[in-house]
Structure 1
Amino acid sequence: MNARLEKKLQLLAVVIVLGAISGIVFNLAQGRTLTSAMAVGMTYGLVMGLTLGMIELFILDGPLRTWLHGLSFTVNLFVRSAIYAVVIALIQGFRIGETVAGVPTAGVPLKISDKIFWAGFAYSAVLSIVMNLGLGISNIVGYRTFLNFITGRYHTPVEENRFVLFVDIAGSTGLAERLGGIRIHRLLDRTFRLLTLAVSDYHGEVLNYIGDEVIVTWREQSGAIDCRPLRCFMAMRDELAQASAQFEQEFGVVPRIRGSLHFGPVIVGEIGDVKRAIVFNGDVMNTTARLEELSRSVDGGFLASRAAMERFSSTPPFALRDLGRLPIRGRADGIDVLGIEAPALT
């Protein structure tokens, strides 16, 4: 099972469980405590959670993902909420909960004038809008960042060992002159959307987009598994190669990427007030940026520090070559690095 599908199924399971709990809570709030009533409430929650979760994860975040991402945040939220409202009305109007639970009133549609219809509809609609708002915000700031803000994980700065991957679009200055401001922005947007698919597949976390560069991180335990940062970078190149015909048709060029990988302790914490952010500081970040600069002059366009390579729990999936110790700005003793031998995953 690939990581994208696994993540969606995990989210679907969470939505279904929360739906069942919400259905029980609604009946308790209405004073309906009989076993049959509780069963109906839980069934409604399960059915709505399953139906809305499937629509969200496999349709709205599937075939309609590109179209919806082309809309503004408010319009996107409105479209999603409208679809949810129709589904909720149909499930409640045709008494799906009673039908599945085997309650005698099953098969008799609720009238739109019934108070119970509007009470259940309003409750479900509010929960759906809140869920949509949460998904929308997490899509803007990043799922893990959003979760970290809520839990307060980095409210007080902490030191963590992290893999840090810098990925840069080669020749972006020349591309900007050739394509112009609007088209280069569209190219960068399209490219980063493709690159983040690989980040999701290999359980990485997008820290930031800076101009023509994306920064990805892994905590030590997660990144060490199966050389995930290395595989992620090569998967990024594969994504771009597979989309080369589309890039050629729309922009007349296929973007190429360079990268650098390092490992070590970073300080992670919240910073700012009006626009609060979770930031990473430390020598690891600076060194990775310097390695990315050096990657521009080596075959393969990728450099990994020996410190990062020694943390992997398995052998790299492709050949690497030892480049020895290279001088690096800001470090008098230089740094031991390796480069990619093979152009793609084998």
Structure 2
Amino acid sequence: MVDLASSPRQLPRVSARLERKLHRLAAVIVVGTLSGIAVGLTHGSGAAPLITGAVYGFLLGAIIGAVELFVLEDWDWLSRLSFLANLAVRSAVYAAIIIGIQLMHPGERIAGIPLGASFGDFWWGFAYSASVSVLINLGFAIANLIGPRAFMNFVTGRYHTPVEEDRFVLFVDIAGSTGLAERLGGIGIHRFLDRTFRLLTQSVVDYRGEVLNYIGDEIIVTWPEQHGAVDCRPLRCFLAMRSALQKAAPQFEREFGAVPQIRGSLHFGPVIVGEIGDIKRAIVFNGDVMNTAARLEELSRKVDGGFLASRAAMAHFAAPPPFPVSDLGTLPIRGRVDGIDVVGIGAAA
């Protein structure tokens, strides 16, 4: 049996989140610096305008990016605002930072040029910096709506033409949500699922997974083979989800009178990934792997531990899992006449 309470022997919880934030911060700094250099090119020849623009762009990108990623993203009340209200608050914070930096004239001081900028130059610079900052903020907001990886894939056009990829696919289902919906009502169950999914997604980030979709009371997570094979990340992710729910149990009990319980399934194989649709385009995953993972999740409701992993998935880990698993043999499954070989893990403590 797996000791779920000790499951975060796994990867350090903060490392993946911090790495993700630092990558995004680096991207914002690069965009800010290049934007500043572009402004410098419009203000005459020579090194001084370029240095001035680069300094302003670097500082604005670094400070605004750091405030956004390490301060604003942690303000829970901000995430509960509407999209436009959220954008307005963030833009106001950006404006204060921009004005403060411009009043200190760091670019001119470093480039060694006079500080006597005209009133018009000041507000032109403010307007340009604010526009770039709002665009970056808008990019963050869109990325949060559809997912950072999906956003980048849309921008780069990676899946404009369908491709086949070998992926781990993890289905996680909230047990007993139908009965909870009857007791909590429509708005109550929505709040319950939202709170639960937000908590589960933290484990997805920790183990470098990608949330493919939220469907009803279910979350679907995927990993490319090279990422998921490392340190049994999909298995560790599921156990970390259970551990997180256990730690949050008192809060859920106080607010909803119930603690979410999860079950899940893991499968591996080739999936077809590509953009689909016209007015509302989406990146979708198709193939037998998705269907099999969903049917395994149905079977997981009938086994101790509430989790099934296919042998195909287990065979593609770079190392054996650092906790015991139980061989459940071959189980019958819809769509496969020969059944499927599976393993299970211990029941939740």
User: 1:17 — aligned with what?
Assistant: 30
Q: Which amino acid aligns with 1:94?
A: M
Answer 1 or 2: higher relative contact order, Cα 8 Å, separation at least 6: 2
Which position in structure 1 is the counterpart of 2:278? 273
CA distance in 2, matches of 1:210, 1:18: 35
CA–CA separation in structure 2 for the residues paired with 1:103 and 1:186 = 56
Aligned to 1:242: 247
Matched with 2:123 is 118
Aligned residues, how many?
336
- Counterpart of 2:328 in structure 1: which amino acid? L
What displacement does 1:98 show?
Answer: 2.8
Note the C-alpha offset of 1:35: 1.8
- CA shift, 1:274, in A, is 1.1
Which of 204-213 and 240-249 deviates more?
240-249
Q: 1:318 touches 1:342 (CA, 8 Å); kept in 2?
A: no
Maintained 8 Å contact 1:231/1:317: no
Residue of structure 2 in register with 1:52 after alignment: 64
> Aligned ranges for residues 56-95 of structure 1 at < 5 Å?
56-62=68-74, 64=75, 66-95=76-105
Give, as a single letter, the amino acid of the residue that structure 1 aligns with 2:33.
A
Distance, in Å, in 2 between the alignment partners of 1:10 and 1:216 is 21
Maintained 8 Å contact 1:269/1:280: yes
Partner Cα separation in structure 2 for residue 247 and residue 342 of structure 1: 21
Q: Give 3-state SS (helix, strand or coil) of 2:220's partner.
A: strand
Task: Describe how 1:208-287 pairs up with structure 2 within 5 A.
Answer: 208-287=213-292
Work out the CA distance in 2 between the residues paired with 1:140 and 1:40: 35
- Give the distance between the partners of 2:49 and 2:282, measured in 1 at CA: 45
Q: Out of 311, 316, 323, which is 2:321 matched to?
A: 316
The equivalent residue for 1:329 is 334
Deviation of residue 17 (structure 1)? 2.2
> What residue number does 1:7 align with?
20
Moved over 6 A (4+): none
Contact 1:247 1:254 in 2 (8 A): yes
TM-score (norm 1): 0.94
Query: Which whole-Å CA distance do the structure 2 matches of 1:171 and 1:79 have between them?
Result: 38
Q: Deviations over 1:196-241 (max 9, x none)?
A: 1111111111111100000001111111111111111111111111
CA contact (8 A) 1:142 1:206 kept: yes
Query: Is the 1:161–1:264 contact (alpha carbons within 8 Å) kept by the matching residues of 2?
Result: yes
Counterpart CA distance in 1 for 2:125 and 2:322 is 53
Amino acid at match of 1:21: L
Q: Contact conserved, 1:318 with 1:341, CA < 8 A, in 2?
A: no
- The answer for the alignment partner of 2:136 in structure 1 is 131
Q: Structure 1 residues 145 and 268, CA, compared in 2 at 3 Å: closer, same or farther?
A: same
Q: Residues of 2 paired with 1:34 and 1:218: CA distance? A: 49
TM-score normalised by the chain length of structure 2: 0.93
Deviation of 1:139 after TM superposition, in Å, equals 0.6
Kindly provide the amino acid, as one letter, of the partner of residue 65 in structure 2.
Answer: G
Instruction: Say which SS state the counterpart of residue 336 (structure 1) adopts.
Output: strand
> Which 5+ residue runs of structure 2 have no aligned equivalent?
1-13
How high is the sequence identity, in percent, across the aligned residues? 66
CA RMSD of aligned residues (A): 1.4
> How many Å apart are 1:342 and its aligned residue?
6.4
Query: What is the DSSP-based 3-state SS (H/G/I as helix, E as strand, rest coil) of the residue aligned with 2:159?
Result: coil
Choose which of 171, 178, 200 in structure 1 pairs with 2:183.
178
Task: For structure 1, list consecutive stretches of 5 or more residues without a partner in the other structure.
Answer: none
Tell me what 2:10 maps to: none
- Residue 103 of structure 1 corresponds to which residue in structure 2? 112
Q: Helix, strand or coil for the counterpart of 1:71?
A: coil
**Residue among 32, 42, 65 paired with 1:29:** 42
Task: Give secondary structure in 1 for the equivalent of 2:58.
Answer: helix
